[in-house]
Structures are given as structure tokens and as C-alpha cells.
Amino acid sequence: YQLIADMTRRAGLPMPEVAVYDSPEVNAFATGPSKSRALVAVSTGLLRSMRQDEVAGVLGHEITHIANGDMVTMTLLQGIMNAFVMFFARLVAYAVTSRGDRDDNRGGSYMMYFMVRMVLEIGLGILGSVITAWFSRQREFRADRGGAELAGRDRMIGALRRLMSNRELVDTQHQALATLKINGAKGFMMLLATHPPLEERLRRLRAAPPRPG
């Protein structure tokens, strides 16, 4: 609680709610509708497996998410993508199936419209997910840099290294919280992952020049 109070004060943010949930997973997340109504939660597994300086790195990362408005931004982006997919799929399906004399085969025309719309919604939905996931990964890199500024670069690096050594305890089953929690993927699934691989996060943080002051 004191770590979060100190870092939110340095970040110029109101004090968020603080929660600890009982779970062996090593994880933390930030959520809330605005910077003034936010929540930072950490698992008991994280508190048991990390030193205090490493916990500070994780909390700095989550507080940066609040400072950057990431929770609201990602929700709005997902909503925009969903609206685009639905509108564009219906527009294209109507344009394709409206050619010719529809009065002679209204039933067949409707079935064609339905099939084209469904195919487009699936295809555009996957494309939208790839774009949203890419945007989320960039914000994770920003949150790592912000965590390094709030908690200290060495603490943020130490937190990422500790997460790498405990990755089997990071819960990735609850997809509703996937954009809020610590997880990553490699290979083809990287395109749909909301978090970059921990190795890439660590490499970028080490390569980033320390900010003066």
C-alpha cells in the first residue's frame, strides 16, 4: 500500500484502491474506468515470490497503465474495431448480393448475404484482433518504461527477470483479464497476444537509454 501511495503521488495521480487476492499465480493488474477511479491488485503468489524491490517494479508498471489511461483506451479501441467489423461486413455483403435481379430469388439472395456477412465478420474480426493486440503490446512497452521511471530501472528489470523465472505460475486462463495481466506469447500466436514476450520486454528496457534526472 505504501509503495503504491508513494508512486501515485510522484505520478500526480489520485490514490487508487488496493487489493490483494489469494492465488498462487504470480500476477498483478490495474483496472478502472478512469484515473480517479482505479484499482491495483496483486496476488499473494506475487508477494511471496518477489522481493520488495521487484514488487515495486511491478507496481510501477501497473501505475503507469493508470497514468496513461490504458484501460479506457483499450476498451474504446476494441469497441471501435467491433463497430467497424460489423458495419463494413454488412456494407460489403449488401453490395455483393444486391447485384442482379433480387426479386426473382429473394431467399437465395438473403442466404448469400448472410454467408458473405459471416465470412467477412470472421476475417475482419481476426484482423481487428491483430491490430488491437499490436496496440496493446506497444502500451506494455510504454508501461515498462514508466515503471522504470517510477520504481527505478534496476527494479523494473529485476521484476521482469523474476517473472521470467516464474512464468509457469502466471495465469493465462482468464481471457477476460488478458489485457490487464502479465502474460505473453511467441511465434504465430504473438500476433494475437496482448502482451509481448518477457524476453522482448527485458531486451527493450535494457536497450532504452536512462532518462536524465
Q: Which of 54, 55, 53, 27 is nearest to 41 (CA)?
A: 27
Q: In what order do the strands lie in the sheet with 28-34?
A: 17-21, 37-43, 28-34
Contact (Cβ atoms closer than 8 angstroms) between residue 54 and residue 162: yes
Given the residues 25, 54, 62, 149, select the one marked as catalytic.
62
**Contact residues for 127 (Cβ-Cβ < 8 A; gap 6+):** none
Query: By the 8 A CB rule, do 156 and 147 touch?
Result: yes
Grid coordinates in use for 23?
Answer: 492465488
Cell numbers found for residue 184: 505473453
Rounded to the nearest 10°, the torsion over CA 17, 22, 28, 32 is -40
Show the beta-strand stretches assigned E in 74-180. Answer: none
| Catalytic residue check, 62 | yes
Q: Is the dihedral of CA 131, 178, 63, 56 positive or negative?
A: negative
> Grid coordinates in use for 151?
520504481
> Active-site residues: which are they?
62
